[in-house]
Amino acid sequence: MQSELQIGRKSEVIAKALVNDADGSPRIEKRARLFDDFIRYVLLFCGIVSIFTTLGIVVVLGRESLLLFSTLDAQGQPVVTLGEFFFSTSWQPAGLKFGILPLLESTLMTSFVAMLVALPLGLGAAIYLSEYASPRVRGSLKPILEILAGIPTVVYGYFAVTFMTPLLQGVFGRDTVQFYNTASAGLVMGIMILPTIASMSEDALSAVPRNLREASYGLSATKFETISKVILPAALSGIVAAAIVGISRAVGETMIVALAAGAGPNWTMPPNFFVAAETITGHIARISGGDLSYNSVDYDSLFALGFALFIFTLGLNLLSRYITNRFREAYQ
Amino acid sequence: MTTTNGATAIDLKSVKVFYNDKLAVDDVNIPIYHNKITAFIGPSGCGKSTVLRSINRMNDLIPGARVEGQVLYHNKNLYGDNVDPVEVRRRIGMVFQKPNPFPKSIYDNVAYGPRLLGIRDRRTLDEIVERSIKGAYLWDEVKDDLKKSGLALSGGQQQRLCIARTIAVEPDVILMDEPASALDPIATQAIEELMRELVKQYTIVIVTHNMQQAQRVSDYTAFFSIRKAEETGGQERRWGVLGEYAPTDQLFSNPKAEETERYIRGEFG
Amino acid sequence: MAQRALSETRTAEDQAFARSLAARHFRGAVWERFFQAAIVIGIVALLALMFNTVNRIVGLVAVQEAIHPSEISDVPLEQLSAEQLAAILTERLPSGGRVLVRDGLLGGADYYNANNTLTMGQFLPDVTLPESVASKKLSELQPEDTQALFVAAMDKNTLLDEVYDQVVGRDVVGSWPLTASLFNRADIEAEIAADHPNATLQWNSWLDLQFLVDSMSNTPADTGIRTAFLGTIWVLLLTLLVSFPLGVGTALYLEEYSSGNNWLERFIETNIRNLAGVPSIIYGLLGLAIFVRTLESITQGRTVISAALTMALLILPVIIINAQEALRAVPPSIREASFGLGATKWQTIWNQVLPAAMPGILTGTILGMSRAIGETAPLIIIGAATFIVKDPNSPVSKFTVIPIQIYNWAKQPGGQYQDIAAAGIVLLLIVLLLFNATAIILRQRFRRSLSA
Ligand SMILES: Nc1ncnc2c1ncn2[C@@H]1O[C@H](COP(=O)(O)OP(=O)(O)OP(=O)(O)O)[C@@H](O)[C@H]1O
Ligand SMILES: [Mg+2]
């Protein structure tokens, strides 16, 4: 009876477009929406592709690494053991010596120099932008950082060999500074990472609540005292997270070191920043760029290096996110 | 529910709504009469919107929202296992507090619902669009420029566009959540007149904070109020309940509950 | 008396306070200068980088010729016809120009030796050759055949280049950056006079039309970026084709379908953030092992498609994260309105959410693509060709890309390679600039369309 009242009143087109039961009451029961379900699975599949990427990385790197460690030499001995891999100071694939230390050393050296540049400058730039610059100045300065962030790393590499290296040689003398050296690569890498650290730190600084600043000014602190005693400590975890991401970028950076740091592993103790030395990434790039046969120890060794690099950067990134998340909770 | 006042379009029976297992509204029983305007009033946070949204299963879109009890529509419980919320919303439309036209042309805004129903014929669509915009008393203002973005209209026009969009699919019931609260007095008056026109064809439920508006437009009024309880640990728990339901004249002239009286006299809320 | 003592100590305290206040302000001012300097250093670095690059693409070069063109022809070489140029080549080159045929037209000595039983017609099926030439093998060619072959297979400009290259022996023996060319000309002239007395100095721009349209060559002065440019376009298009649907699909799933509290969805989300931080060289290793090796039967190894798939995985997180942001920026009221009219989830997404978010999604995609344009390391790993003259023309072509060429040139010893690398860099940066300008315009349009 109610049904009559309502359905009868609809215009014909609409009434026709809706489905009703035999008694004329609206049908609101579930019906199969195959297309919607299908789409849902397609989209889920898209999401799963990214999981397969990670899985692919782990499996590929892991499997080839295992191959390296299970390769036997002429005497039936493993060519390299885990211990040798991590603790021996010679990497010479031709001589079946696979000690990661010389590569790791120069990786850490370039990263160290890079952070020496990027951390103070990036943080300084962030403080200037978030605490001192007027909105107009900030509006015109930030694009410059964005441009720096958008320049391809191969261009930075070119800059290192054609500008930074001659500059270093000019300052310290050609006798001290070899053409390929970790200092030049590290310095330019620092410029490359600067925008990352600046923008992440700026986010951290601007997340510090207003009332904290006001409280500090209320206690008659100067601007710099407010920054150094109140704002920086409050944003510290965000800044630390930025620095860790910066390190991870530096460790994984390839093109700058491939062009400027040198070809050939070089274990220097104490570290010498002015001599050529190959980093992990530089080595992978150089060896795989040549004619590399697939079933060789050399090939496997690249993946072992890649695995070490992957684990290292993943750890850094996870650490950075853990710190950021804790920091966020602290203010909510 | 059978009453002397004619047929009900919707019956709310012992409706409880939870957000993340927190009770928001407790035990609501309201009949929504056909071709009448039912107004929900009450202090802020008492659950008017919550109950309104439970009538066309809009609450499904909020993660953690859960409805208990029954919302009967043509003797079917909208919260039955086998009910498709999409079908429900095709029959029970909604107009929101803040006008929310799609960022598309006026024409496309109104034609969207019919297109969803599979109507593709251009002439038919033209007819529906014109009829619906006329029905929302917007035609004279926009007829020359149906290609214009819906967002380019004034707030009051936008809200009438949203109403036109809703009536384009000729729902059985139109739910309106404070449809005039974001509008100026002249636009408000236009919307109120429109509602009185629409109710000849449609069943309308409206949430309002404006007591005069409820009195002016509605036939029945449900007053919701807030209950509070101390929890262990000194925290206060609040939830909404139906305070009083009656024909609008009666509720405003002769409220039964003292709480209703205090509210309509403006003593709290 | 006591009062005076008190006021004296007060002034002493005040003075001390004022002194320390001045010191505090001074310290603040010094640090402010430091913070400012950080920004300035960033700007200086950017300027130095730009200047250092541009400085090398224009400047003086010293050109030396083995034979002066006037000894070959009375009129300038540019005015000769194709036949005349071909005749010069046949006449002046060793073994009647057959070496040039082998190296320039038949794919080089190695390739020829492997196929030396083929005739000219079989070697060059696309070229219309006189029957007398087409039926001969390389060893049987007479000078007049070679000449006909040159005319049929090379256009006039190529012939002219070959004459300059092979006969005149035009050789760039030195190059100087712009600043040196402008301010140190005297020194340069002295140097030239001492080292290459026959050479002449002339102005040259390394980034010119010839650089854009020529394919690679062994000499930096003749090399061009065309093959790499086309390679970049091929790789980019295929990358886009793979990563855009996958990225937007993932973002839609995470933003519109995921409830966020199921382990799979949370895992996908975390996983994407992690992938965004994986060094690009790792993607190169992944691509090498999966696309180049394991799927070799499909991808044909070190080809455009392998590169594009690798690159697609690399920029996927960028596209996803940006698309998620764009979807989040679509007001929920639009979704509510659509659902309120009885739209299904997919209808709501397809008709309302996606169109509203599209400019934002495109912006993110362009950001991802500009990342892909500049990425070099993964492509080195999967083995882009370093020397290749054939334009890529299918997904399974061998290829190289602009940044790889920059890398290869920058790696070479010798100033001219650095100059040509600079030309490549400027081209790369111009392409990036265009991409980012598009992204900025889209972003502004996006803001307007959702607020107006
Ligand atoms: N999405 C949500 N998640 C959790 N709690 C909610 C949500 N929406 C509403 N609530 C809670 O439910 C209660 C009722 O809210 P509701 O919006 O229905 O009230 P209302 O009567 O419409 O108020 P107003 O007059 O302010 O619109 C409030 O306590 C509110 O905090
Ligand atoms: Mg409400």
Give the tens place of pLDDT for each residue, C409-449.
Answer: 898 877 788 888 999 999 999 999 998 888 888 878 777 66
Ranges of H-type helices in A128-260: 135-150, 153-159, 165-172, 182-206, 210-218, 223-226, 232-252, 255-260
Over chain C, what is the mean pLDDT? Answer: 85
pLDDT (average), residues A177-181? 89
Tens digits of residue pLDDT in A308-323: 999 999 999 999 988 8
- Assign C450 a pLDDT band (cuts: 50, 70, 90): low
* Index of the ligand 1 atom closest to the CA of residue B51: 18
Q: Are C271 and C264 in contact (CB under 8 A)?
A: no
- Output the CA B229–ligand 1 centroid distance in Å: 17
Cis check for the bond before A102: say yes or no (omega within 30 of 0).
no
Secondary structure letter of residue B145 according to DSSP: -
Show the tokens assigned to A222. 């100067």
B191 CB near ligand 1 (under 6 Å):
no
HSE value, Cβ hemisphere, 13 Å, CA-based, for C227: 22
Cβ distance A6 to B90 less than 8 Å, yes or no, reads no
Q: What are phi and psi of B222, to 5 degrees?
A: -110, 125
Say how far apart CA C394 and CA C230 lie, in whole Å.
Answer: 11
Q: Which helix (H) or strand (E) holds C172?
A: strand C171-175
> Would you call A28 an interface residue with chain C, using a CB distance cutoff of 8 Å?
no
For residue C286, what pLDDT is reported? 94
Q: What is the pLDDT of residue A330?
A: 56
A141 and C428: CB-CB below 8 Å? no
Which ligand sits nearest to residue B40's alpha carbon? 1
B18, B26, B50, B177: which to mutate for ligand 1, most atoms within 8 A of CB?
A: B50
Report helix, strand or coil for C405.
helix
CATH of the domain at A284: 1.10.3720.10
Burial (0-12, 13-18, 19+ Cβ within 10 Å), C422: buried
- Residue whose pair of structure tokens reads 């697609």 in the numeric block: C312
Question: For position C3, what pLDDT does the model report?
Answer: 60
Which atom of ligand 1 lies at the shortest distance from residue B43's CA?
A: 25
Interface of A with C in 153-212 (CB under 8 A): 153-159, 161-163, 191, 194-195, 198
In the listed set A46, A61, A87, which residue is the last one of a domain according to the structure?
A87
Residue C149: which pLDDT band, with cuts at 50, 70 and 90? confident
Residue spans per domain, chain B: 8-264
Question: Nearest-CA distance from B158 to chain C in Å?
Answer: 13
Nearest CA to ligand 1 atom 29: B45
Confirm if C306 and C291 have CB atoms less than 8 A apart.
Answer: yes
Written as six digits, the tokens of B65 are 């929202």
Rg (CA), chain B: 19
- Domain B8-264 in CATH: superfamily? P-loop containing nucleotide triphosphate hydrolases (3.40.50.300)
- pTM of the full predicted structure? 0.86
Across chain A, mean pLDDT equals 87
In this predicted structure, which of A31-45, A180-194, C142-156 has the lowest mean pLDDT? C142-156
Which range, A154-158, A324-328, B229-233, C405-409, has the best average confidence (pLDDT)? A154-158
C436, closest residue in chain A (CA to CA) = A150
The verdict on A49 and A162 lying in the same domain is no
Specify the number of domains making up chain A: 2
Cis-peptide, bond into residue A270, ω within 30° of zero: yes
What's the mean pLDDT in C272-281? 93
**Is residue A94 domain-resident?**
no
Residues A20 and A106 placed together within one structural domain of the fold: no
Residue C107 has pLDDT above 80, yes or no: no
Q: Is residue A163 over pLDDT 90? A: yes
Check residue B176 and give its pLDDT.
Answer: 94
Residue B195 CA to ligand 1 centre (angstroms) = 25
The ligand that comes nearest to the alpha carbon of residue B18 is: 1
- Which chains does C contact via 3+ CB–CB distances below 8 A? A, B
Q: Give mean pLDDT, residues C256-266.
A: 83
Distance between the two ends of chain A, CA-based, in angstroms?
56
Are A127 and A73 in the same domain?
no
> Does residue A33 fall inside a structural domain?
yes
A97 phi, psi to nearest 5 deg: -115, 120
C-beta atoms of A13 and B87 within 8 A: no
Query: For residue C321, what are the CA distances in angstroms to A38, C10, C275, C370?
Result: 24, 62, 11, 15
Q: Is any Cβ of chain B less than 8 angstroms from the Cβ of A9?
A: yes
Q: For B98, which of C333, C355, C356 is closest by C-beta distance?
A: C333
Give the least confident one: B74-78, B241-245, C21-25, C156-160. C156-160
The reported pLDDT for the residue numbered A283 is: 92
Q: Is the pLDDT of residue C9 over 90?
A: no
Dist. CA A244–CA B41, nearest whole Å:
55
**245-284 in chain C: CB under 8 A from chain A:** 245-250, 252-254, 257, 265, 267-268, 271-275, 277-284
Does residue C38 or residue C446 have the better pLDDT? C38
Q: C1 or A260: whose pLDDT is higher?
A: A260
Give the pLDDT score at C7.
63
Domain coverage including residue A228: 100-327
What is the DSSP track for C212-241? HH----SSGGG--SHHHHHHHHHHHHHHHH
| Spacing, Cα B48 to ligand 2 middle (Å) | 6
**Residue C91 to residues A175, C151, C407, Cα–Cα distance (Å):** 52, 14, 39
Instruction: Pick the last residue of a domain from A87, A115, A140.
Output: A87
Other Cβ atoms less than 10 A from the Cβ of C181: the count is: 19
Q: Which residue did the predictor score with more confidence, C267 or A2? A: C267
Q: Is residue C187 pLDDT above 90, yes or no?
A: no
* B17 Cβ closer than 6 Å to some ligand 1 atom: no
Give residue C1's pLDDT. Answer: 53
H and E: helices and strands count for chain A: 15, 2
Min Cα distance A9 → chain B (Å) is 8
DSSP C399: -
Q: Is any ligand 1 atom within 6 A of the Cβ of residue B24?
A: yes
Q: Name residues of chain B where pLDDT drops below 50.
A: 1-4
Interface mutation target, options B34, B170, B174, chain A, most CBs of A under 10 Å: B170
What structural domains does chain C harbor? 66-172 (no CATH), 226-451 (1.10.3720.10)
Cβ neighbours for C151, distance < 8 A, ≥ 6 positions apart: C82, C83, C86, C159
Q: Which two tokens stand for residue A265?
A: 């592993």
Contact present, A82 and A70 (Cβ < 8 Å): no
Q: Which residue lies with its CA nearest to atom 17 of ligand 1?
A: B49
Residues A28 and A128 in one domain: no
**Tokens in use for C115?**
């196929």
pLDDT at A2: 37
Residues 280-309 of C with CB under 8 A from A: 280-286, 288-290, 293
Asked whether residue A105 falls in the same domain as residue A14, the answer is: no
C407 in Cβ contact with A255 (< 8 Å): yes
Report the amino acid identity of residue A307.
Answer: F
Nearest CA to ligand 1 atom 1: B62
Strands B37-41 and B220-230: parallel
Assigned domain for A117 exists = yes
For residue C197, name the pLDDT band (cuts at 50, 70, 90): confident
Band of pLDDT at residue A151, cut at 50, 70 and 90: very high
Residues paired with A92 in a beta bridge:
A97
A93 lies in a domain?
no
